[in-house]
């Protein structure tokens, strides 16, 4: 089954409220969108060219308030139509979670494998750091009920990510504790 091009919809969604440059869009991936979706910088520009060719966005290149030439991308009526169609459609297939750490665990057969403690500890450190980062973003972005109401979908995604990372941390701690119990 062919994979759906979701980058198209992400870019259309990001420029719905106001035109943005490719750099602005990349910054969104580095902060908010990057919490649940990753993309290479070059993919953004290739997709923007394709969307413009298909009439879903327009571009305006010029000098806007400074001496650096910039290109701003804006959504067209056709782009809005396609974005709305996608937003209100449903896909019955669940996405596969590609987690290299879990894949490595799969291939460890022996509970006494010498790599296991360091592998688990390394992952725990990374997950705790990510959890701390997510909690900081929540505090920064959603400190009032009004902030939550303005970006409720974003709030839900961040809440989901915090819960996911919190559970991952709990699971890793339990796995590490189970190894300690095995040493006796």
Digit-coded pLDDT (tens) for 64-93:
777 788 899 999 999 999 999 999 888 777
Chain segment 122-169, per-residue pLDDT in tens: 999 999 999 999 999 999 999 999 999 999 999 999 999 999 999 999
pLDDT average, residue stretch 14-39: 86
Query: What percent of the chain is modeled with pLDDT above 70?
Result: 95
Q: Is the pLDDT of residue 1 over 70?
A: no
pLDDT value, residue 120: 96
Considering only CA atoms, which of 101, 154, 148 is closest in space to residue 126? 101
* Cα dihedral 22, 23, 26, 27 sign: negative
pLDDT value, residue 181: 66
Would you say 120 and 169 are in contact if contact means Cβ atoms under 8 Å apart?
A: no
Q: Is the pLDDT of residue 2 over 50?
A: no
pLDDT value, residue 166: 97
SS3 track for the chain: CCCCCHHHHHHHHHCCCCCEEHHHHHHHHHCCHHHCCCCCHHHHHHHHHHHHHCCCEEEEEEECCCCCEEEEEEECHHHHHHHHHHHCCCCCCCCCCCCHHHHHHHCCCCCCCCCHHHHHHHHHHHHHHHHHHHHHHHHHHCCCHHHHHHCHHHHHHHHHHHHHHHHHHHHHHHHHHHHHHHHC
pLDDT value, residue 15: 95
* Cα dihedral 72, 76, 80, 86 sign: negative
pLDDT value, residue 30: 83
Q: Which of the following CATH numbers is that of domain 6-87: 1.10.10.10, 3.10.129.10, 1.10.3720.10, 3.30.420.40?
A: 1.10.10.10
Structural domain spans, the chain: 6-87, 100-183
Residue 25 neighbours by CB distance under 10 Å: 22
């Amino acid at each position: 089954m062919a994979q759906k091009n979701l980058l198209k919809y992400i870019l259309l969604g990001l420029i719905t409220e106001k035109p943005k440059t490719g750099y602005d869009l990349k910054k969104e991936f580095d902060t908010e969108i990057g919490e649940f979706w990753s993309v290479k910088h070059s993919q953004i520009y290739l997709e923007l060219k394709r969307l413009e060719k298909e009439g879903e966005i327009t571009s305006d290149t010029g000098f806007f308030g400074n001496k650096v030439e910039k290109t701003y991308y804006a959504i067209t009526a056709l782009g809005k139509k396609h974005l709305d169609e996608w937003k209100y459609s449903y896909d019955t297939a669940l996405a596969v979670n590609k987690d290299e750490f879990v894949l490595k665990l799969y291939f460890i057969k022996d509970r006494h494998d010498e790599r296991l403690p360091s592998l688990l500890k390394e992952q725990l450190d990374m997950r705790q750091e990510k959890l701390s980062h997510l909690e900081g973003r929540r505090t920064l972005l959603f400190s009032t009920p009004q902030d939550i109401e303005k970006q409720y979908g974003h709030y839900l995604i961040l809440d989901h990510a915090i819960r996911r990372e919190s559970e991952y941390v709990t699971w890793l701690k339990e796995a590490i504790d189970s190894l300690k119990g095995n040493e006796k």
